[in-house]
Amino acid sequence: MDSVISVKNLKSYYVSSIFGKKITVKAVNDVTFDILSDEIVGIAGESGCGKTTLLNVLLGIVEPPLRVFDGEVLYSLGKNGDIDILRLDEEKKLQLRWQVVSYIPQGSMNILNPIRKIKKIFFDFAKSKKNLNKKEFELLLDQRLEDLKLPLRVKDSYSHQLSGGMRQRVAIALATIFKPKIVVADEPTTALDVVMQRDIIDLLGEIHENEKNTMVLVSHDLSIHSNMSDRIFIMYAGKIVEIGETEEIFEEPLHPYTKFLISSLPRIGDKSLKESVPGKPPSLSDLPEGCSFRERCPYAMDICEREIPDLEWKTSDHAVACFLHRG
């Protein structure tokens, strides 16, 4: 499969100053990967590991104090060639956003203006992106609601009249109304109950299946990835430490951090005590020398204190950054 987004040696840090002291938070710390056409990639890791910052940079949203220090984010746009999103001006980025790449942010249901009816929210949004007359807009909206099996009556509702799950479905319909080639979602099921989570996962799965797009899904919840993602990228302290197909990540995780994440998941019928990842992640503004996981790792060796392990491909589709697997 062809690559749709290609990230090379990306370094993106928050730089600020407190009482005259410069603070550099290495949220995305030299990452390289490809996202392929028509796949769902899940990015997993504990809170604060840099997942959301990585998503923002993938979208070209880099606002101070965040800065890009190195690397590129290439979008492959077929006959239009490759575009480095980080080197586009704001106007060109806005042209791409929603029509080529769209974003479902955390708590996206809160983006629905409570004092406007859903129809008006969609109309304002669509008008700002495309030159549509009222009839074209009505057709587009009805078609989208129908595609996503949403009742047409939601058009005349205010967001507060809808349930949390329905609001999230409407927000997803809004973000994907132009059927973009790439959909990026940040914790799309946060704040929903288990039944609604299932509903939103199914909806995203249907959009992916029917529209043959590429999805990048950030969630700290590995069970969401097990249901949705084709491949999983495990992120730790600003780095990608393991990449693999979902089944392989669950059955044969290689990185000690991934092993802890998997073994801490509850399983039906298994009453054994679950072990969570010991200790705390390091501060991204004060990373230790060597491997960032070494202070929590039961297998740490001398070399782990001195050197940072590179992400190495062990097979054509499984990569890990750990000296235990150095080839």
Chain residues binding ligand SF4 by CB under 6 A are 256, 291, 293-294, 297, 299-301, 304, 309, 322-324
Q: What is the DSSP string of 99-139?
A: TTEEEE-TTGGGGS-TTSBHHHHHHHHHHHHS---HHHHHH
* 3 state SS of 41: strand
Q: How far apart are CA 49 and CA 284, in angstroms?
A: 8
Do 314 and 244 touch, CB atoms closer than 8 A? no
Nearer to ligand SF4, 136 or 252 (CB): 252
Instruction: Give 67 or 326: the residue with its C-beta nearer to ligand SF4.
Output: 326
> What phi and psi, each to the nearest 5 degrees, are found at residue 97?
-65, 140
Min dist. Cβ of residue 244 to ligand SF4 (A): 15
The least distance separating ligand SF4 from the CB of residue 7, rounded to whole angstroms, comes to 22
Min dist CB 24 to ligand SF4, Å, is: 22
Of 206 and 289, which CB lies nearer to ligand SF4 in the complex structure?
A: 289
Q: Closer CB to ligand SF4, residue 61 or residue 324?
A: 324
Q: Which two tokens stand for residue 253?
A: 């995780």
> Residue 62: which of 99, 129, 13, 26 has the closest Cα?
13
Closest distance of CB 257 from ligand SF4, Å: 6
Instruction: List the structure tokens of 247.
Output: 């089944």
Structure token pair of residue 223: 């069970």
Q: Judge contact between 31 and 240, C-beta under 8 A.
A: yes
Query: Which of 100, 300 has the CB closer to ligand SF4?
Result: 300
Sequence-ordered list of residues with C-beta below 8 angstroms from that of 9, at least 6 positions apart, any chain: 30, 31, 32, 70, 71, 72
CB of 324 to ligand SF4, least distance (A): 5
By beta-carbon proximity to ligand SF4, the closer residue of 40 and 322 is: 322
Smallest distance from the beta carbon of 302 to ligand SF4, in angstroms?
A: 10
